[in-house]
DNA sequence: GAATCCCCTTACCGGTTGGTAGGGACGTTG
DNA sequence: CAACGTCCCTACCAACCGGTAAGGGGATTC
C-alpha cells in the first residue's frame, strides 16, 4: 500500500504549484479552479478530485509556504550572534526567485484577506514564524528588556519592509521603467541590511 | 446647468465611500456591485446608472485616494527641515482612522493587483507622490548625493513599513488577540519614527 | 481474466456575476 | 399641462462560479 502513484504525486505537486502562482498573481477570489486546471491542461474536476474544495487547495498552498518559512529559519545556524542571524534571515528572504516572490505576494494577500475569508485557520500558519522572529529579536543585545508589543511592532515593521519590495516590484517597474526597477532591485538587499543594522543598534524606541 | 443635483452628488459620494470601504476590505474581485448597493439600501442598477461599470467605480475610488495623497503632501509646510518634514509625513500617514486604513489597504491591493488588471492607469496615481517623497529624502543632509535607485529603494522600504502596519492590523489582532494588537498599535507610531531617525542619520547604505 | 482502484472525464446543478432594456416616480422647465 | 431630465426600479440575460453525480480508461492485483 506504500507503492504506486509516482506520477500522481507529481500531478498533485504541479497542481499546487500552479495554484500557488495564480493565487499569488490574482488572489483567492481572482482565480477560479477552472482557470488553474486549464493552465495544467486539465478540467476543474481533476482539481476537485484531489482537493475537494477550492479552500482546501488554497490551504495547502499556505501550508507549503509555512513549511518553507520553517525550513528557512532552520537553515540559520543557532549558535552565532543573534543580530547576525536576523541579518542572515533577511538575506535569505530577499532572493528574487519566482517562488520567493510568489511567497511574498501570497503572504501579503493572506494578511489582507484573512479577516474576511470564512476559514480564518490560514492565519495560524504565520504565528510560529512570527514568534520565532520575536524570540530572535529579543536575544539581540539591548532588546532583551523590550516589551512584547515593542518587539512585535518592530518585527512587523521589518516584515513590511522586506515583503513590500518583492510585492511592489512589478508595479514600480511599470512606474519607473524596467532599468530603474532593476537598479532598485540590486540596491535593495544592501539597503535593507543597512536599515536593519541601524534599527538594531539603536535599540527599542521610546 | 450648474444647479440642482444636491442630494444626487451626496448619493454619489455615499456610493464611492461605501465602495471604498468594501474594496479595501475584500478587494476588487471579492466584492460585487450588488453587495455595495445593498449596503446602501439600493440596487446594483443604481450604481451602474452613476458609474457605468464596476471598473469605473473602482477607478474613482483610486482617484479619490490620489487626491488625498496630493493634499497630504501639500499640507506639509515646505520651509522647515526636510528630515522633520519626512517625520511629519509619517505621522500624518499613521493616524488610525478608518479612511486612512482603507487607503493603506487599497494601495496595497492596487500594488498587488495592478500588474494583472488590464487598466494599469491606476499605478500612475502613485508616481507624483513617490517622486515627492524621493525629493524630500534627497534634501535630507547626507542624502543629497545618493543615487535615484538608492533613494527610491529607501522610500519603498519606508512605505512598506508604514503601510504594512495598517494593513496587517486585523490579521494580527486575530493572531495575537485584541489587547496585544492594541498595544502594538500604540507603540507603532513612535517605533516607526525611531526607525526613520535611525535610517536618516545613518545616511544611504553602501 | 475478472475485480479493483486511481485519475480524470462529460454532464449537470443552483446560485451569482457584471451588464442591458425599459419603465416609472419625481422635480424642473417651457 | 406637457415635455424633459434625473434617479432608481423590476425584469432579464449570457457567462461563470464552486461543487455533485456518474462513468470510463488504464494499470495493478488476485
Per-residue pLDDT reduced to its tens digit, B22-78: 999 999 999 999 999 999 999 999 999 999 999 999 999 998 998 888 787 766 666
- Name chain A contacts of B171, Cβ cutoff 8 Å: 110-112, 114-115, 123, 126
CA of A112 to C1' of D15 (A): 29
Which residue out of A111, A122, A167 would a mutagenesis test of the B interface target, given it has the greatest number of B Cβ atoms within 10 Å? A111
Q: Is residue A119 part of a domain?
A: yes
The reported pLDDT for the residue numbered A169 is 82
CA of B139 to C1' of C19 (A): 51
Q: Is residue A24 part of a domain?
A: no
d(CA B27, CA B30): 5
Task: Determine the nucleotide nearest to A42 by Cα–C1' distance.
Answer: C8
Mean pLDDT of chain A: 83
Domain count, chain B: 1
Instruction: Please identify which residue in the block is written with the cell numbers 471579492.
Output: B30
- Name chain A contacts of B161, Cβ cutoff 8 Å: 157-158, 160-161, 164
- Output the DSSP codes for A94-128: H---HHHHHHHHHHHHHHHHTTTSS-GGGGGGTHH
Write the pLDDT tens digit of every residue in A7-43. Answer: 445 889 999 999 999 999 999 999 999 999 999 999 9
- Output the DSSP codes for chain B: -----HHHHHHHHHHHHHHHHHHHHH-TTT--HHHHHHHTTS-HHHHHHHHSSHHHHHHHHHHHHHHHHHHHHHTS-SSS-HHHHHHHHHHHHH---HHHHHHHHHHHHHHHHTTTSS-THHHHTTHHHHHHHHHHHHTSTT-TTS-HHHHHHHHHHHHHHHHHHHHHHHHHHHHH-HHHHHHHHHHHHHHHHHHHHHHHHH-S--
pTM given for the model: 0.85
Helix crossing, B6-26 with B54-74: angle to 10°?
90
Q: Is the model's pLDDT at A122 over the cut of 80?
A: no
Min mean pLDDT across A168-177, B70-79, B146-155 is at B70-79
Q: Is residue B133 part of a domain?
A: yes
Chain D positions within 7 A of any protein Cβ atom are: 6-11, 16-22, 28-29
Q: Is residue B1 part of a domain?
A: no
Q: Is residue A30 part of a domain?
A: no
Q: Is residue A191 part of a domain?
A: yes
Q: How many C-beta neighbours within 10 Å does residue B21 have?
A: 20
DSSP 8-state assignment for residue A140: S
Chain C positions within 7 A of any protein Cβ atom are: 6-11, 16-22, 28-29
pLDDT bracket for residue B2 (50, 70, 90): very low
The rounded Cα B199 to chain-centroid distance in angstroms is 22
The reported pLDDT for the residue numbered B109 is 92
CA of A3 to C1' of C3 (A): 20
Write the pLDDT tens digit of every residue in A126-155. Answer: 788 888 889 989 989 889 999 988 898 888
Q: Is residue A5 part of a domain?
A: no
Under an 8 A CB cutoff, do A175 and B130 touch?
A: yes
DSSP 8-state assignment for residue A1: -
Q: How far is B24 from chain A (nearest CA, A)?
A: 9
The residue range of the domain holding A136 is 62-202
Q: Is the model's pLDDT at A94 over the cut of 70?
A: yes
Higher pLDDT: A72 or A206? It is A72
Q: Is the model's pLDDT at B163 over the cut of 50?
A: yes
The reported pLDDT for the residue numbered B5 is 38
Q: Is residue B172 part of a domain?
A: yes
Q: How far is B9 from chain A (nearest CA, A)?
A: 30
Q: How far is A7 from chain B (nearest CA, A)?
A: 32
Write the pLDDT tens digit of every residue in B86-120. Answer: 888 877 777 778 888 899 999 899 889 877 654 44
Q: Is the model's pLDDT at B6 over the cut of 50?
A: no
**CATH code of residue A168:** 1.10.357
Write the pLDDT tens digit of every residue in B50-61. Answer: 999 999 999 999
**CATH code of residue B166:** 1.10.357.10
CA of A36 to C1' of D30 (A): 39
Amino acid at each position: 500500500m506504500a507503492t504506486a502513484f509516482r506520477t500522481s504525486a507529481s500531478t498533485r505537486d504541479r497542481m499546487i504549484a500552479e495554484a500557488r502562482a495564480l493565487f499569488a498573481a490574482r488572489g483567492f477570489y481572482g482565480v477560479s479552479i477552472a482557470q488553474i486546471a486549464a493552465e495544467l491542461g486539465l478540467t476543474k474536476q481533476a482539481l476537485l478530485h484531489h482537493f475537494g474544495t477550492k479552500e482546501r487547495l488554497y490551504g495547502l498552498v499556505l501550508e507549503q509556504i509555512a513549511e518553507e518559512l520553517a525550513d528557512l529559519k532552520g537553515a540559520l545556524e543557532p549558535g552565532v550572534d543573534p543580530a547576525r542571524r536576523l541579518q542572515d534571515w533577511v538575506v535569505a528572504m530577499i532572493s528574487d526567485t519566482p517562488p520567493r516572490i510568489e511567497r511574498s505576494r501570497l503572504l501579503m494577500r493572506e494578511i489582507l484577506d484573512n479577516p474576511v475569508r470564512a476559514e480564518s485557520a490560514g492565519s495560524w500558519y504565520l504565528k510560529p514564524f512570527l514568534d520565532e522572529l520575536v524570540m530572535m529579536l529579543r536575544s539581540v543585545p539591548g532588546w532583551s528588556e523590550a516589551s512584547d508589543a515593542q518587539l512585535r511592532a518592530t518585527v512587523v515593521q521589518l516584515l513590511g519592509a522586506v515583503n513590500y519590495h518583492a510585492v511592489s516590484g512589478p508595479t514600480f517597474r511599470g512606474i519607473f521603467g524596467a532599468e530603474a526597477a532593476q537598479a532598485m532591485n540590486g540596491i535593495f538587499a544592501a539597503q535593507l541590511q543597512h536599515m536593519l543594522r541601524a534599527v538594531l543598534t539603536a535599540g527599542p524606541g521610546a
